[in-house]
Amino acid sequence: MARISIERKYVFISLVAVIAIVVAIFVLNKIPATSIFMDKLFHKPLTTYTYYLYDNYGNRYDIPMSFRADLRKASNVFVYPDISSIYNIIWNPDNRKIIIAFANSSDNGLVIVETFEIVNKLIFAFNVSNVSTIFIHTVVDSYDNLTANESYPIIALIPPSLTNDTSVLAINNVIYIQGNTTEGFDLATIKFLMSALGIKVG
């Protein structure tokens, strides 16, 4: 009889502990700071981000952004020479027109998706910052010997069918965004946007 009583006691304690954990997780997820902690704890992909931007009058804009892949994964994509080089090309005060270049391939549909992702997010940031830079696109025969300058930088999109690498490279005002898989291309595009917009994740 005593043995049965002890077993019931442990079952009750275990049940209370489980309920307490569930309640704690629910409460913590209501708090933004701890919600981020819980996302990390349970490896939940981070695909949304609130971007803070100030206009020339000091007004702050909170811009919710959604991404096609995990920002934490994207943060690990290789960048050459460094993130600040990407930022400086995009926000150079002499920048007048950003040319998005790509070569025809079986991945044209994916290139269009990444182009929309880039233009949609950057143009909003430009408008708030009163930057008049515009975007155009061009089809190229090859990614070799692309020529750009500070006023007319190039973003070259290289999809999986044309590369074995996943990276973001800035060379002579040409930014090469390349991914060797669909996810890799998404991650490289996101890493470019994170670099251009100054987005950092823990």
Identify the residue whose tokens are 């940031």: 125
Q: Report the SS3 class of residue 194.
A: helix
Residue 26, in any domain of the structure: yes
Copy the structure tokens of residue 159: 């999809």
Q: Which band of pLDDT confidence, cut at 50, 70 and 90, is reported for residue 32?
A: very low
Residue 54, in any domain of the structure: no
Identify the residue with better confidence: 23 or 84.
Answer: 84
Q: For helices 32-41 and 2-28, give the axis angle rounded to 10 degrees.
A: 120
Q: Are residues 37 and 80 in the same domain?
A: no
Residue 53: per-residue pLDDT: 84
Q: What integer is the mean pLDDT of 5-26?
A: 52
> What's the rounded Cα separation, in Å, for the pair 34 and 15?
24
Q: How many residues does the chain have?
A: 202
> What's the rounded Cα separation, in Å, for the pair 138 and 103?
9
pTM of this prediction?
A: 0.78
Residue 14, in any domain of the structure: yes
Structural domains in the chain (count) = 2
Q: Are residues 77 and 162 in the same domain?
A: yes
Q: Report the SS3 class of residue 41.
A: helix
Contact 188, 77 (CB under 8 A): yes
Residue 60, in any domain of the structure: no
**Residue range(s) defining the domain that contains residue 26:** 2-41
Per-residue pLDDT reduced to its tens digit, 164-197:
999 999 999 999 999 999 999 999 999 999 999 9
Q: Are residues 100 and 173 in the same domain?
A: yes
